[in-house]
Structure 1
């Protein structure tokens, strides 16, 4: 989600959303069948276009409406989706996918290999301005096309006919099949996109998908409704008749709605309520592959001085934050890649090393700040921390504000709408900004290529040629041990340059009725509720 998802982003206990359900909304979700699932999903999505989205909350919607060459089943396994089978060449460079003959769009038109070729090249087209274009760089000449150094016809994805898609990679990629169930790799319809332009993904009438559900209504900033897609190739395995995702930015109202019986689940709850919900066994906690962190604008004074960035990072007591604000068993972030990914012989996090203290080191932080020309914070400009509206984000920002004030620095806090935060971060219009990233697949690369100079999801204004070189080397080698070593070296550069301020590693906490069965919560931050069934 992520990633980042995301963003990739993730709406967890720290990222809260919602308005209390109105009487109109209660009427909207009244069930004529017991197979109706209602869930408070998060904020109003910025994009529902698979090529443009970078947020986990929106991805939770997209994965219900679209399906890639592969899909994720209820066990979390990558299994055939639109492609009923595939072959891989001996050198690992060429994949040939065979589209199932009963694959159809929700309006009944067959899904073809041409739809995938169009969608992938559209995401790569610089005119599309997809922040996730780099996720397709594993494909031959994809990066060159995105950077204007090659033509679309040079990209290594080609529909040989309506049911056969051939993909040629730059180098063997062990997780490529996993990538094909990620939203950026989903197909979209050329005729729909070209006819309706940017508005195609904003109206249920034109939001034509190929997945298990169809969007039927979108009341902006309130809720989105979906019904089961009878033309989905595996419709017989889908039990739910309807899904309603409430769009909400108030964690207290979310919990009130849940405890009043108005919804089946909610993505986030107030941090103050966590102990009670755990005691009452109402809170479900899931492991996530993600990192909560602060971006620092590395080109803006005084943050262009590494000593300043290091001082700010060292002044944070990460243990205090996870124990007193998180309360869900989150781990303090001692690097950027989270726990849960195998390295050479043990967990990558332990193998790569621990670059940050879990407790504050104020003495060293003050010393670094003085060396940078700001003894006891004298002459240091007021810092503005920006974050999206959330009680959890606010509490973390207030804690860090107090920690940085111990350095003699003045700190201003600014909360804003989710879309505004995304826009300001992307435009690098900030000093310090809240951020978060969830893996897109289970590999350190999904975290490390985020900070390459060519990544549109790199919000920091930081770049390092040696870092780029190591990431590229890791992507091109098929030797597992060597690629892990390259990635460890890259993370070391990122962390020793203090380009970002990691704070903690995510877990997911949400409320969900026990009568909701047969779903999968991915460590990548996606909720696979399409397989669910209601058993009251």
Structure 2
């Protein structure tokens, strides 16, 4: 039985609007009105990606409430994202800042040069970034220096029971880094970043207005670990003092554009505007204090159909992640919606290289060649997806290799040819007309798309005399047999496994997850000396362009070894109502760091009224 949503502030509007929507809406918006928010299909690259944008109109307006949905359908527990990354960080990002952020005003689409689209939630090249809590950064092999921005305040307005409003100090930044490294558990065992425990950090201390991180070596992941990545949110010490309840979100204090105002379980998280937020936005050449809106509401809606209804009836102003299956319906019921199209993380089937038959590279290549990946992509997610987004997607162009630039051997492997695939198996000792071998595919219960994809692979492999047994287990058993088992002990747990976290857009996370022997999500059990040596060397290269060139080369090399059968990515849709201004489809300006994006948006109240909402 689905849990009933008590949506408090939003519920009345949702129910009322659903009733109104059930009646035929005959009001037609004049073309003159739509000219201001007309959907403009822009071909942003040769991949024919249809990004629809609404150009900025007039001067920014202040005030109003913006209701949105980002990623989490469930309530957060504690506000300490250092100890509980998910879903805490989704709810803390309007409140907390990082040291570095993507510079959308200078490099983003429409408002900037358009050099970078800011769709890579897991990594943004440093050349497209600017300082946030740190004014800048200087990196050498033995230290990282962060001059801390002056005049930034911990916005404890209405939270005097926790701490006073006061300036941020370099000592606060040092505290937060120590808290993450020594007490955090979201990204590794406590203390794992210290050199003495195999990491790269020797010490962290404040010196004048700067924070200095002494390092034993250069590690290209420094930004993700301490400046603008997983759990890189900065807290004042007071919010972790004894007696302060970290499960009470009213105790959270930060420097970001918003402050927590109210949390209603199963309903919403409400935020108020931070009146002393440090950042500004440049719009049409003019600099403005932000945020523009007075109130921000995160709608917590577990049921997807309810989410769609909330968007369709304008109870939600912007939704950052809509399944492509609703695209046609939304186009019919709510044609005024502005749509942005991106690609989700790829889905793959890991081929266990410790399995008897799959230890043979030619066998793995034959199995990949026997599957029509494009057809599966379309069947699983509908039209408009891309079956060639693994291991690095086109949203990170500096390390991406288009299909027609791949080596001929890789192109052949990825081209559907069941006749050649069966011939290859014959050459490897599996006579035609006989069952070649039997494989078992492990699946986690409750993932119907993954089950459907595996069933389609089963049918394709039957055509080349390979039998695939689908074994579905509950999530705890699945985790124990995959991520919970060391690589060297997985041989008997499965031959294949459908996996959604092998690939990322950015190269460091994507290549690590899929191919590094120290990574538990390397479910193909890929161990290759050349790849590991080159990849680890790339992490020591300080020049980002040189490093990306190495990532690009080893990504192609590893994929050509055939450890994964990739089905590519579904279309990932983001929708906004046209009265939401100054948003152009960006996903993040850091890892789960989108509060400053929302701070740049404003609500055109007149347009909302004109459209009947």
The bucket for the TM-score relative to the shorter chain is: 0.7 to 0.9
Q: Which residue does 2:269 correspond to in 1? A: 224
Q: Which residue does 2:376 correspond to in 1? A: 321
Asked if 1:383 corresponds to 2:441, the answer is yes
Counterpart-to-counterpart distance in 2, 1:359 and 1:79: 42
Match of 1:449 among 512, 523, 530: 512
Pairing 1:431-442 to 2, within 5 Å after superposition: 431=494, 432-436=497-501
Query: Where in structure 2 are there 5+ consecutive unaligned residues?
Result: 14-62, 109-127, 157-162, 281-288, 609-613
Q: Does the Cα contact within 8 Å between 2:262 and 2:269 map onto a contact in 1?
A: yes
Counterpart-to-counterpart distance in 2, 1:195 and 1:304: 54
Counterpart-to-counterpart distance in 1, 2:210 and 2:319: 41
Offset at 1:509? 0.7
Offset at 1:351? 5.4
Match of 1:63 among 93, 96, 101: 93
Q: Does the Cα contact within 8 Å between 2:339 and 2:573 map onto a contact in 1?
A: yes
Asked if 1:210 corresponds to 2:255, the answer is yes
Asked if 1:261 corresponds to 2:314, the answer is yes
The one-character-per-residue Cα deviations of 1:363-413 (angstroms, maximum 9, x if unpaired) are 454466674879865652542323765x65565455445434545434437
Asked if 1:245 corresponds to 2:276, the answer is no
Q: Does the Cα contact within 8 Å between 2:391 and 2:504 map onto a contact in 1?
A: no
Offset at 1:494? 2.4
Q: Which residue does 2:286 correspond to in 1? A: none
Q: Which residue does 2:418 correspond to in 1? A: 362
Q: 1:100 to 1:196 in 2, by over 3 A?
A: same
Asked if 1:116 corresponds to 2:180, the answer is no
Counterpart-to-counterpart distance in 2, 1:312 and 1:228: 55
Pairing 1:385-464 to 2, within 5 Å after superposition: 385-386=443-444, 389=447, 395-406=452-463, 407-412=465-470, 414=472, 426-428=483-485, 431=494, 432-436=497-501, 444-450=507-513, 451-455=515-519, 458=522, 460-464=524-528
SS in 1 for 2:146: strand
SS in 2 for 1:284: strand
Counterpart-to-counterpart distance in 2, 1:277 and 1:331: 22
Q: Does the Cα contact within 8 Å between 2:269 and 2:298 map onto a contact in 1?
A: yes
SS in 1 for 2:547: helix
Counterpart-to-counterpart distance in 2, 1:324 and 1:223: 35
Q: 1:277 to 1:380 in 2, by over 3 A?
A: same
Offset at 1:500? 3.2
Structure whose CA Rg is larger = 2
SS in 2 for 1:82: coil
Q: Which residue does 1:78 correspond to in 2? A: 129
Q: Which residue does 2:532 correspond to in 1? A: 468
Q: Does the Cα contact within 8 Å between 1:37 and 1:264 map onto a contact in 2?
A: yes
The one-character-per-residue Cα deviations of 1:16-69 (angstroms, maximum 9, x if unpaired) are xxx7984x31545669x73232336443267864435666x7654332121112
Pairing 1:98-117 to 2, within 5 Å after superposition: 98-106=148-156, 107=163, 108-117=165-174
Offset at 1:338? 1.2
Query: Where in structure 1 are there 5+ consecutive unaligned residues?
Result: 1-18
Q: Which residue does 1:167 correspond to in 2? A: 213
Q: 1:402 to 1:477 in 2, by over 3 A?
A: same
SS in 1 for 2:539: helix
SS in 2 for 1:380: strand
Root-mean-square deviation (CA), in Å?
4.6
Offset at 1:99? 3.1
Offset at 1:517? 1.3
Counterpart-to-counterpart distance in 2, 1:164 and 1:359: 54
Counterpart-to-counterpart distance in 1, 2:129 and 2:7: 36
The one-character-per-residue Cα deviations of 1:164-195 (angstroms, maximum 9, x if unpaired) are 21235633869959983334322234454464
Match of 1:182 among 198, 213, 229: 229
Q: Does the Cα contact within 8 Å between 2:263 and 2:269 map onto a contact in 1?
A: yes
Match of 2:573 among 486, 492, 509: 509
Q: TM-score, normalised by structure 1?
A: 0.74
Asked if 1:25 corresponds to 2:7, the answer is yes
Q: Which residue does 2:601 correspond to in 1? A: 532
SS in 1 for 2:438: coil
SS in 1 for 2:371: coil
Offset at 1:513? 1.0
Q: Which residue does 2:138 correspond to in 1? A: 88
Q: Does the Cα contact within 8 Å between 2:354 and 2:525 map onto a contact in 1?
A: yes
Counterpart-to-counterpart distance in 2, 1:265 and 1:423: 37
Q: Does the Cα contact within 8 Å between 1:204 and 1:218 map onto a contact in 2?
A: yes
Q: TM-score, normalised by structure 2?
A: 0.66
Q: Which residue does 2:33 correspond to in 1? A: none
Q: Does the Cα contact within 8 Å between 1:264 and 1:512 map onto a contact in 2?
A: yes
Q: Does the Cα contact within 8 Å between 1:296 and 1:433 map onto a contact in 2?
A: no
Counterpart-to-counterpart distance in 2, 1:481 and 1:86: 20
SS in 2 for 1:332: coil
The one-character-per-residue Cα deviations of 1:178-219 (angstroms, maximum 9, x if unpaired) are 98333432223445446479x83x431344333222334444
Offset at 1:360? 3.0
The one-character-per-residue Cα deviations of 1:493-523 (angstroms, maximum 9, x if unpaired) are 4213333333214653133211111235435
Higher mean alpha-carbon deviation, 446-455 vs 289-298, is at 289-298
Counterpart-to-counterpart distance in 2, 1:340 and 1:227: 33
Offset at 1:246? 2.7
Q: Which residue does 1:131 correspond to in 2? A: 187
SS in 2 for 1:214: strand
Q: Does the Cα contact within 8 Å between 1:265 and 1:513 map onto a contact in 2?
A: yes
Q: 1:475 to 1:90 in 2, by over 3 A?
A: closer
Counterpart-to-counterpart distance in 2, 1:143 and 1:68: 20
